Amino acid sequence: MMKLWYAAQPASTRIARLMCYEMEVEVEECLVDLENENHRQSLLAIGINKLPALQIQEAPGYFSLLPDIAEYLGTLVSPERRLIPWDSEGGFEVRRWIYYVGNLVGTPIGLLELREEDSDCRKLLSGSLPALEARLTDQEYMAGDRFSLADCALGVYLAAYRAKAKWESEYPQLAAYLRRFQLRTAVRRL
Amino acid sequence: MSMKIWYHPLDISSQMAVLALFECGADFQACSIEEAGEKERTAFLKRWPTGQLPVLLDDNWDDQIFGSSVIAEYLHVYGGFPSELLPDDQEEAREVRSLTRFVATGLAWPMSLIWKEQLSLPSWVEPGELEWKLAARRREESLPILEARLAGRSGWLAGNTFSLADCQAAPALLCYEAAQELNPYPRLREYLDRCWQRPAFQQMLRLVGERFLRYGNFLSPSLKHRLRQAKVI
């Protein structure tokens, strides 16, 4: 049995759990309280110093970066359950949107979760979100017609951003996308 | 195919993307954001409002291709260039991508924070105390891991072939060496020596090397020596 070590924050730990639910992969979920010194020490004792961490019993070490987790879990499931397709063009499309969402949406929203106000982060978002709004005008998901890792990330980040700002009227496609995202069975398990 | 890359000569991600283009033998136009005229820069920002670099534009693709590893993936999938940056085998490619991300987050990102601060380069958001601590910790952890990985290898990070992971590591190590000696990591130093022998690495340096000159007082003696030897400066 694999173990997924996670904490309430940051958003990447929620995305990791969502990936497991979407792919229907069975993992033992281990919630860590990062404020608790005993929890932190226990994690360090088993060689884990960042979260999320997907620990595989038969192998040393662990996966922490989201695409690494997705790619590894993708080897365990059927092709239609993979969040990063194995074909070159499909894989490229998902990877380029993961990169976009991670760097231009996830990073500033993550910083806004830590900082009360940051005009630089808001400025970056006002540059990056319009392209996503336009993209979702004629397609359901970020990388085409199937749900992917880019959607796991974008949905979680948008939900986090809604707690920080009112943006739905400015980006109606993204607002509709977030509503669809939150109706997903896997998302409701979060 | 007509390709144009927007880059900043001192940005590690830009250096990686340019290195990948040279490694693939691609024919491309390099546009430094620093040297662009006001009109050109405004047009670029209109098309790409975040201004984040590097960005590749290709006549055959109707969208911007953003990010160094994505640009390398694009070249692999659509570029039609004979490149070994990513193996065809799915499992081997997974390992190369994972290693590339490890280098990106463990070495390239911390180095880019340090590098930008030392050179007083603009950053879209000022790193806070947390980011600095994280960057220092990641760099301290990643260098010994990469050093150990190279034990018994006379080639590259993922094996005998120069891969995407090496494209990521080489510019980050170059910037590390610019600030301090690599002597505590002899295998990484030898590895960087091998990178210097590659024509694509030298082409990349020729493109960005002019800008290194302006920071002559900041560069470590060993890097200055190497740059002179390679006739970059």
- Contact indicator for A43, A32 with CB cutoff of 8 Å: yes
Q: What ipTM was reported for this prediction? A: 0.90
Q: Which of B79, B102, B134 is the last residue of a domain?
A: B79
Distance of alpha carbon B6 from alpha carbon A32, whole angstroms: 42
Q: Does residue A190 fall inside a structural domain?
A: no
- CA nearest to A67 within chain B: B98
Establish if A88 touches chain B: CB-CB under 8 angstroms: yes
CATH code at position A160: 1.20.1050.10
Interface A–B counts its CB contacts (< 8 A) at: 73
DSSP A79: G
Q: Does residue B180 fall inside a structural domain?
A: yes
Among the partner-chain residues B50, B51, B105, the one whose CB lies closest to the CB of A65 is B105
Query: Can you give the pLDDT at residue B233?
Result: 60
Cα distances from A149 to residues A125, A152, B105, B155, B198, in angstroms, run: 20, 5, 19, 33, 35
Distance of alpha carbon A24 from alpha carbon A21, whole angstroms: 5
Query: Can you give the pLDDT at residue A8?
Result: 86
Among the partner-chain residues A71, A89, A130, the one whose CB lies closest to the CB of B77 is A89
User: B 135-154 residues with CB below 8 A of A?
Assistant: 141
B35 and B106 both lie in a single domain: no
Residues in B touching A91 (Cβ below 8 Å): 73, 77
Residues in A touching B90 (Cβ below 8 Å): 86
Q: Does residue B144 fall inside a structural domain?
A: yes
- CA nearest to B70 within chain A: A96
Query: Can you give the pLDDT at residue A128?
Result: 93
**Region of residue B231 (left: phi > 0; alpha: psi -120 to 50; beta: else):** left
A33 and A69 both lie in a single domain: yes
Q: Which of A13, A46, A81 is the last residue of a domain?
A: A81
- CA nearest to A130 within chain B: B49
Place of tokens 């499909």: A90
Best mutation target among B53, B124, B142 (most A Cβ atoms within 10 Å) is: B124
- CA nearest to A124 within chain B: B50
A77 and A92 both lie in a single domain: no
CATH code at position B147: 1.20.1050.10
For chain A (190 residues), the mean pLDDT of every run of 10, in chain order, is 89 95 96 89 86 86 93 96 95 96 91 75 90 94 94 96 92 97 96
Query: Can you give the pLDDT at residue B216?
Result: 59
Q: Does residue B85 fall inside a structural domain?
A: no
Query: Can you give the pLDDT at residue B177?
Result: 83
pLDDT tens digits, chain B, 233 residues: what are they?
Answer: 589 999 988 888 999 999 999 999 999 999 998 888 889 888 888 888 888 899 999 988 888 899 999 999 999 998 877 678 999 888 999 999 999 999 999 999 888 887 777 766 666 666 777 778 888 888 888 999 999 999 987 789 998 899 999 999 999 998 888 877 788 999 999 999 999 999 999 999 988 877 766 665 667 777 777 777 777 66
Please return the burial class of A186, using the count of CB atoms within 10 Å of its CB with bins 0-12, 13-18 and 19+.
middle
Strands A53-55 and A62-63, by their bridges, are antiparallel
Distance of alpha carbon A79 from alpha carbon B90, whole angstroms: 13
Cβ of B51 within 8 Å of Cβ of A128? The answer is: no
Domain count, chain B: 2
Query: Can you give the pLDDT at residue B82?
Result: 65
Query: Can you give the pLDDT at residue B94?
Result: 93
Domain around A176: 88-185
Domain count, chain A: 2
Query: Can you give the pLDDT at residue A176?
Result: 97
Query: Can you give the pLDDT at residue B31?
Result: 93
Provide the residue type at B154 as one letter: S
Domain around B67: 3-79
CATH code at position A72: 3.40.30.10
A174 and A156 both lie in a single domain: yes
Q: Which structure tokens are listed for B122?
A: 């603009």
Query: Can you give the pLDDT at residue B79?
Result: 82
B139 and B44 both lie in a single domain: no
B30 and B130 both lie in a single domain: no
